[in-house]
Chain A
Amino acid sequence: MIGGGLLHYWVVIALMMTGLYTMIARQNLVKKIMGLNIFQVSVILFYVSLGKVAGGTAPILKELAPGEPAPLYSNPLPHVLMLTAIVVGVAVTALGLALVVRIRAAYGTVEEDALRKLDEEERAERSTGGGA
Protein backbone atom coordinates (compact mmCIF):
# COMPACT_ATOMS: atom_id res chain seq x y z
CA MET A 1 0.00 0.00 0.00
CA ILE A 2 1.17 3.54 -0.68
CA GLY A 3 2.41 5.30 2.45
CA GLY A 4 2.23 2.11 4.50
CA GLY A 5 -1.53 2.30 4.96
CA LEU A 6 -1.21 5.81 6.30
CA LEU A 7 -1.78 7.61 3.00
CA HIS A 8 -4.85 9.39 4.30
CA TYR A 9 -2.82 10.94 7.12
CA TRP A 10 -0.30 12.26 4.63
CA VAL A 11 -3.10 13.78 2.58
CA VAL A 12 -4.58 15.33 5.70
CA ILE A 13 -1.24 16.78 6.76
CA ALA A 14 -0.51 18.12 3.28
CA LEU A 15 -3.89 19.83 3.12
CA MET A 16 -3.56 21.18 6.63
CA MET A 17 -0.16 22.71 5.94
CA THR A 18 -1.37 24.13 2.63
CA GLY A 19 -4.23 25.80 4.44
CA LEU A 20 -2.11 27.14 7.28
CA TYR A 21 0.52 28.41 4.86
CA THR A 22 -2.11 30.19 2.79
CA MET A 23 -3.56 31.84 5.88
CA ILE A 24 -0.17 33.08 7.03
CA ALA A 25 1.52 33.96 3.77
CA ARG A 26 -1.26 35.49 1.68
CA GLN A 27 -1.96 39.18 2.00
CA ASN A 28 -5.41 39.07 0.43
CA LEU A 29 -8.11 38.54 3.04
CA VAL A 30 -10.28 36.46 0.70
CA LYS A 31 -7.35 34.15 0.05
CA LYS A 32 -6.82 33.89 3.78
CA ILE A 33 -10.38 32.65 4.11
CA MET A 34 -9.75 30.13 1.35
CA GLY A 35 -6.75 28.91 3.34
CA LEU A 36 -8.97 28.61 6.38
CA ASN A 37 -11.40 26.49 4.37
CA ILE A 38 -8.67 24.15 3.16
CA PHE A 39 -7.45 23.85 6.74
CA GLN A 40 -10.92 22.91 7.94
CA VAL A 41 -11.47 20.46 5.11
CA SER A 42 -8.31 18.61 6.13
CA VAL A 43 -9.81 18.03 9.57
CA ILE A 44 -13.06 16.83 8.06
CA LEU A 45 -11.11 14.36 5.96
CA PHE A 46 -9.26 13.23 9.07
CA TYR A 47 -12.50 12.47 10.89
CA VAL A 48 -14.11 10.73 7.95
CA SER A 49 -11.06 8.50 7.61
CA LEU A 50 -11.43 7.62 11.30
CA GLY A 51 -14.90 6.27 10.67
CA LYS A 52 -13.89 4.02 7.80
CA VAL A 53 -14.12 0.33 8.55
CA ALA A 54 -12.27 -1.85 6.01
CA GLY A 55 -14.93 -3.43 3.80
CA GLY A 56 -17.74 -1.62 5.56
CA THR A 57 -20.75 -0.27 3.70
CA ALA A 58 -22.88 2.81 4.23
CA PRO A 59 -24.52 2.66 7.64
CA ILE A 60 -28.17 2.52 6.54
CA LEU A 61 -30.59 0.45 8.56
CA LYS A 62 -32.39 -2.22 6.53
CA GLU A 63 -34.61 -5.21 7.16
CA LEU A 64 -32.59 -8.41 7.41
CA ALA A 65 -33.86 -11.70 6.08
CA PRO A 66 -33.84 -14.41 8.78
CA GLY A 67 -30.38 -15.92 8.97
CA GLU A 68 -28.80 -13.16 6.91
CA PRO A 69 -25.68 -11.84 8.68
CA ALA A 70 -25.71 -8.16 9.55
CA PRO A 71 -23.53 -6.29 7.04
CA LEU A 72 -20.35 -4.57 8.15
CA TYR A 73 -20.97 -0.84 8.60
CA SER A 74 -18.62 2.07 8.63
CA ASN A 75 -18.80 4.04 11.85
CA PRO A 76 -21.38 6.77 11.21
CA LEU A 77 -20.55 8.87 14.27
CA PRO A 78 -17.53 10.74 12.84
CA HIS A 79 -19.63 11.60 9.76
CA VAL A 80 -22.34 13.07 11.94
CA LEU A 81 -19.77 15.02 13.93
CA MET A 82 -18.38 16.40 10.69
CA LEU A 83 -21.84 17.48 9.59
CA THR A 84 -21.77 19.78 12.59
CA ALA A 85 -18.20 20.84 11.87
CA ILE A 86 -19.14 21.65 8.27
CA VAL A 87 -21.97 23.85 9.50
CA VAL A 88 -19.55 25.60 11.83
CA GLY A 89 -17.14 26.00 8.92
CA VAL A 90 -19.82 27.49 6.69
CA ALA A 91 -20.80 29.90 9.43
CA VAL A 92 -17.20 30.97 9.93
CA THR A 93 -16.71 31.41 6.19
CA ALA A 94 -19.90 33.43 5.83
CA LEU A 95 -19.00 35.66 8.75
CA GLY A 96 -15.43 36.04 7.52
CA LEU A 97 -16.58 37.04 4.04
CA ALA A 98 -19.12 39.44 5.52
CA LEU A 99 -16.30 41.08 7.46
CA VAL A 100 -14.23 41.26 4.27
CA VAL A 101 -17.11 42.99 2.48
CA ARG A 102 -17.36 45.55 5.27
CA ILE A 103 -13.59 46.01 5.44
CA ARG A 104 -13.59 46.68 1.74
CA ALA A 105 -16.38 49.23 2.18
CA ALA A 106 -14.54 50.94 5.06
CA TYR A 107 -10.99 50.89 3.70
CA GLY A 108 -11.37 50.40 -0.05
CA THR A 109 -8.97 47.45 -0.12
CA VAL A 110 -8.69 43.88 1.13
CA GLU A 111 -4.89 43.62 1.03
CA GLU A 112 -3.43 43.11 4.49
CA ASP A 113 -0.36 45.35 4.08
CA ALA A 114 -2.40 48.16 2.54
CA LEU A 115 -4.82 47.92 5.47
CA ARG A 116 -1.97 48.05 7.95
CA LYS A 117 -0.56 51.11 6.23
CA LEU A 118 -3.92 52.87 6.32
CA ASP A 119 -4.29 52.15 10.04
CA GLU A 120 -0.79 53.38 10.79
CA GLU A 121 -1.36 56.56 8.81
CA GLU A 122 -4.56 57.18 10.73
CA ARG A 123 -2.82 56.65 14.06
CA ALA A 124 0.04 58.97 13.11
CA GLU A 125 -2.45 61.61 11.98
CA ARG A 126 -4.31 61.44 15.27
CA SER A 127 -1.20 61.75 17.41
CA THR A 128 0.16 64.75 15.49
CA GLY A 129 -2.97 66.54 14.35
CA GLY A 130 -4.31 67.62 17.75
CA GLY A 131 -5.35 65.24 20.54
CA ALA A 132 -9.07 65.98 20.30
Chain B
Amino acid sequence: MSDSDSMQRWHLRMREKPVLRIVAKRFIPFVLLFALYVQFHGDYGPGGGFQAGVIFAAGLILYAMIFGREALEKVAPPRAVEIAAALGVLLYTGVGVATMLGGGNFLAYGALDSHDPMHGQHLGILLVEAGVGITVAAVMTAVYFCYAGRGAGE
Protein backbone atom coordinates (compact mmCIF):
# COMPACT_ATOMS: atom_id res chain seq x y z
CA MET B 1 0.00 0.00 0.00
CA SER B 2 1.06 3.55 -0.62
CA ASP B 3 1.04 4.35 3.10
CA SER B 4 3.80 1.90 3.87
CA ASP B 5 5.70 2.96 0.75
CA SER B 6 5.74 6.55 1.86
CA MET B 7 6.86 5.43 5.32
CA GLN B 8 9.76 3.56 3.76
CA ARG B 9 10.72 6.52 1.63
CA TRP B 10 10.59 8.66 4.75
CA HIS B 11 13.11 6.44 6.49
CA LEU B 12 15.36 6.32 3.46
CA ARG B 13 15.40 10.07 3.46
CA MET B 14 16.08 10.10 7.20
CA ARG B 15 19.19 8.00 6.62
CA GLU B 16 20.66 10.87 4.59
CA LYS B 17 20.20 13.40 7.40
CA PRO B 18 23.18 12.94 9.68
CA VAL B 19 22.38 16.01 11.78
CA LEU B 20 18.98 14.71 12.79
CA ARG B 21 20.32 11.23 13.41
CA ILE B 22 23.21 12.33 15.58
CA VAL B 23 21.17 14.88 17.52
CA ALA B 24 18.38 12.42 18.13
CA LYS B 25 20.83 9.76 19.24
CA ARG B 26 22.41 12.15 21.73
CA PHE B 27 19.09 13.55 22.97
CA ILE B 28 16.91 10.49 23.40
CA PRO B 29 18.68 9.25 26.57
CA PHE B 30 18.15 12.67 28.13
CA VAL B 31 14.49 12.70 27.13
CA LEU B 32 14.02 9.35 28.83
CA LEU B 33 15.99 10.52 31.85
CA PHE B 34 13.91 13.68 32.07
CA ALA B 35 10.77 11.52 31.98
CA LEU B 36 12.04 9.61 35.00
CA TYR B 37 12.87 12.90 36.73
CA VAL B 38 9.34 14.19 36.15
CA GLN B 39 7.99 10.87 37.34
CA PHE B 40 9.81 10.81 40.66
CA HIS B 41 9.93 14.52 41.32
CA GLY B 42 6.12 14.40 41.33
CA ASP B 43 6.45 13.82 45.08
CA TYR B 44 7.77 17.34 45.66
CA GLY B 45 6.70 19.50 42.78
CA PRO B 46 4.76 19.51 39.55
CA GLY B 47 5.12 16.22 37.79
CA GLY B 48 3.73 12.76 37.96
CA GLY B 49 2.82 9.75 35.94
CA PHE B 50 0.81 11.33 33.14
CA GLN B 51 3.43 13.84 32.13
CA ALA B 52 6.29 11.41 32.64
CA GLY B 53 4.58 8.72 30.60
CA VAL B 54 4.00 11.08 27.71
CA ILE B 55 7.59 12.33 27.75
CA PHE B 56 8.92 8.79 27.87
CA ALA B 57 6.71 7.76 24.97
CA ALA B 58 7.80 10.88 23.08
CA GLY B 59 11.39 9.69 23.41
CA LEU B 60 10.49 6.28 22.02
CA ILE B 61 8.43 7.76 19.19
CA LEU B 62 11.25 10.13 18.24
CA TYR B 63 13.51 7.11 18.02
CA ALA B 64 11.04 5.36 15.73
CA MET B 65 10.64 8.43 13.54
CA ILE B 66 14.35 8.76 12.95
CA PHE B 67 15.49 5.14 12.90
CA GLY B 68 12.36 3.38 11.74
CA ARG B 69 9.51 1.49 13.28
CA GLU B 70 11.46 -1.75 13.12
CA ALA B 71 14.19 -0.31 15.31
CA LEU B 72 11.66 0.65 17.95
CA GLU B 73 10.02 -2.77 17.70
CA LYS B 74 13.36 -4.27 18.73
CA VAL B 75 13.47 -2.05 21.81
CA ALA B 76 9.79 -2.22 22.67
CA PRO B 77 8.00 -5.11 20.94
CA PRO B 78 4.28 -4.35 20.43
CA ARG B 79 3.35 -7.38 22.50
CA ALA B 80 5.47 -6.13 25.40
CA VAL B 81 3.93 -2.69 25.06
CA GLU B 82 0.47 -4.19 25.32
CA ILE B 83 1.45 -6.16 28.41
CA ALA B 84 3.01 -3.06 29.98
CA ALA B 85 -0.21 -1.12 29.45
CA ALA B 86 -2.17 -3.82 31.25
CA LEU B 87 0.42 -4.16 34.01
CA GLY B 88 0.38 -0.44 34.74
CA VAL B 89 -3.37 -0.49 35.34
CA LEU B 90 -2.97 -3.60 37.46
CA LEU B 91 -0.28 -1.89 39.55
CA TYR B 92 -2.68 0.97 40.19
CA THR B 93 -5.64 -1.21 41.08
CA GLY B 94 -3.34 -3.62 42.88
CA VAL B 95 -2.45 -0.84 45.30
CA GLY B 96 -6.17 -0.39 45.87
CA VAL B 97 -6.61 -4.07 46.61
CA ALA B 98 -3.55 -4.06 48.89
CA THR B 99 -4.98 -1.18 50.92
CA MET B 100 -8.25 -3.06 51.28
CA LEU B 101 -6.35 -6.12 52.48
CA GLY B 102 -4.49 -3.86 54.86
CA GLY B 103 -7.78 -2.94 56.47
CA GLY B 104 -8.36 0.47 54.89
CA ASN B 105 -10.69 1.68 52.16
CA PHE B 106 -9.86 1.31 48.49
CA LEU B 107 -6.74 3.40 47.78
CA ALA B 108 -6.42 4.59 51.39
CA TYR B 109 -2.63 4.55 51.18
CA GLY B 110 -2.17 4.89 54.92
CA ALA B 111 -3.16 1.25 55.27
CA LEU B 112 -0.10 0.12 53.29
CA ASP B 113 2.16 0.50 56.31
CA SER B 114 0.49 -0.32 59.60
CA HIS B 115 3.30 1.23 61.68
CA ASP B 116 3.76 4.50 59.87
CA PRO B 117 0.74 5.71 57.86
CA MET B 118 2.81 8.61 56.45
CA HIS B 119 5.23 6.13 54.94
CA GLY B 120 2.25 4.24 53.58
CA GLN B 121 1.00 7.42 51.91
CA HIS B 122 4.38 7.92 50.22
CA LEU B 123 4.60 4.34 49.07
CA GLY B 124 1.02 4.37 47.82
CA ILE B 125 1.29 7.49 45.69
CA LEU B 126 4.70 6.34 44.36
CA LEU B 127 3.29 3.00 43.20
CA VAL B 128 0.10 4.49 41.80
CA GLU B 129 2.04 7.11 39.85
CA ALA B 130 4.39 4.41 38.61
CA GLY B 131 1.38 2.48 37.36
CA VAL B 132 0.02 5.58 35.64
CA GLY B 133 3.41 6.33 34.09
CA ILE B 134 3.87 2.81 32.73
CA THR B 135 0.37 2.69 31.27
CA VAL B 136 0.52 6.14 29.69
CA ALA B 137 3.91 5.48 28.13
CA ALA B 138 2.80 2.09 26.85
CA VAL B 139 -0.52 3.34 25.48
CA MET B 140 1.06 6.29 23.71
CA THR B 141 3.60 3.97 22.10
CA ALA B 142 0.83 1.53 21.17
CA VAL B 143 -1.12 4.37 19.57
CA TYR B 144 1.96 5.25 17.53
CA PHE B 145 2.35 1.63 16.45
CA CYS B 146 -1.29 1.66 15.34
CA TYR B 147 -0.82 4.57 12.98
CA ALA B 148 2.78 4.35 11.81
CA GLY B 149 3.66 1.98 9.01
CA ARG B 150 0.20 0.56 8.59
CA GLY B 151 -0.58 -1.49 5.55
CA ALA B 152 2.19 -4.04 6.02
CA GLY B 153 0.22 -6.71 7.84
CA GLU B 154 -3.28 -5.33 8.14
Instruction: List residues of chain B with CB within 8 A of the CB of A60.
Output: 45-46
Q: Which residues of B contact A101 (CB under 8 A)?
A: 146-147, 150
Residues in A with CB closer than 8 Å to B146 are: 94, 98, 101
| A58 to B150 CA separation, bound complex (whole angstroms) | 43
Proximity bits, B42-57, A CB within 8 Å = 1, else 0 = 0001100010000000
State whether the Cβ of B143 lies closer than 8 Å to any Cβ in chain A: yes
Q: Give A8 Cβ to nearest chain B Cβ, in Å.
A: 22
Does any Cβ of B come within 8 Å of A83's Cβ? yes
The CA of A97 and the CA of B146, in the complex, are separated in Å by 10
Whether A87 sits at the interface, judged by CB under 8 Å, is yes
Nearest chain B CB to A18's CB is how many angstroms away?
A: 25
Number of residues on chain A facing chain B (CB within 8 A) = 10
CA A3 to CA B154, docked complex, whole Å: 53
Once the chains are docked, how many angstroms separate the CA of A60 from the CA of B48? 14
Q: How many positions in chain B have a CB within 8 Å of any CB in the partner chain?
A: 8
Tell me the dominant secondary structure on chain A's binding face: helix
B55-100 CB contacts (< 8 Å) to partner A = none
Residue of A nearest to B48 (CB): A83
**Bound state CA distance, A83 and B46, in angstroms?**
12
Which chain B residues border A97 with CB–CB below 8 Å? 147
Q: Kindly state the separation between the CA atoms of A101 and B50 in the bound complex, as whole angstroms.
A: 26
CB distance from B41 to the nearest CB of A (A): 11
Partner of B50, one of A83, A94, A98: A83
| Chain A interface residues toward B at CB < 8 A | 58, 60, 83, 86-87, 94, 97-98, 101, 105
Q: Which 4 A-B pairs have the closest CB atoms?
A: A94-B143, A60-B45, A98-B146, A83-B50
